[in-house]
A and B are shown apart, each in its own frame.
Chain A
């Protein structure tokens, strides 16, 4: 079965702290894609990153970085020096190769960054 687990329901940090959001996935496919989406208080989900299963290279984009480890089936997301504008719900999602463009989402992690 295809599944995404985001065990952290809510995380609270103070501005400038680093924070890591965990994502663990399950799939039997050897080819699959992982995504992170951000849902700010306005409600609209915004795409952050996509990785395919053949590319385990970590990625950094400004204060955001992603750590993909197939050995532990994890795709964790780290925000460095968090800011209040990072407050949002973050969703990890999985698309497997044998399915149509259908994503299975995790239940999301709510990040609260206080000043």
Chain B
């Protein structure tokens, strides 16, 4: 199994508060991704990273920011959480930009009340 750890696994927060989710990998893979999973939408890409301090937006990036100061850590921040950001968040990693498969973490269930 790929060494990907997401923390926390579950979080309940209130609207308007900042939230940071962490993804930690031990595989030394260059590429890291944040997805959200919602009923009826499958998985949608929020942000991705192609190296330390190199990040870019995915298809649903509004309201989210990311940072990657070390190869192994990729942080997802909700600056001011909204109820529409209630979702399951998955971190994924891949070794290259080719047609590589993704390895996923176990997910973080976030509820914004």
Residues of chain A having any CB pair with chain B under 8 Å: 4, 6, 33, 35, 37, 42-47, 50, 52, 91, 95, 100-103, 105-108
Contacts and interface: CB of A to CB of B under 8 A. Distances in A.
B106 A42 contact: yes
Interface stretch (B17-25, B39-47, B66-74, B76-84): B39-47
B102 A103 contact: yes
Given A91-B42, A105-B44, A108-B42, A35 B104 contact: no
Interface string B82-113: 00000010101010111111111111000000
B99 A52 contact: yes
Contacts of A102: 45, 48, 58
Which are the 9 A-B pairs with shortest beta-carbon distances? A105-B42, A45-B104, A47-B101, A33-B99, A105-B43, A107-B42, A44-B106, A43-B107, A101-B97
Nearest to A97: B99
Given A102-B58, A108-B42, A35 B48 contact: no
A100 B26 CA distance: 23
A80 to B, nearest CB: 23
Interface string B34-58: 0000001111110010100000101
A92 to B, nearest CB: 9
Nearest to B100: A101
| Interface band, chain B | 20 to 34
Nearest to B38: A107
Given A100-B48, A100-B56, A107 B40 contact: yes
A4 B58 CA distance: 17
Nearest to A49: B101
A101 B99 CA distance: 7
Contacts of B88: 43
A35 B48 CA distance: 19
A39 B50 CA distance: 25
Contacts of A33: 99
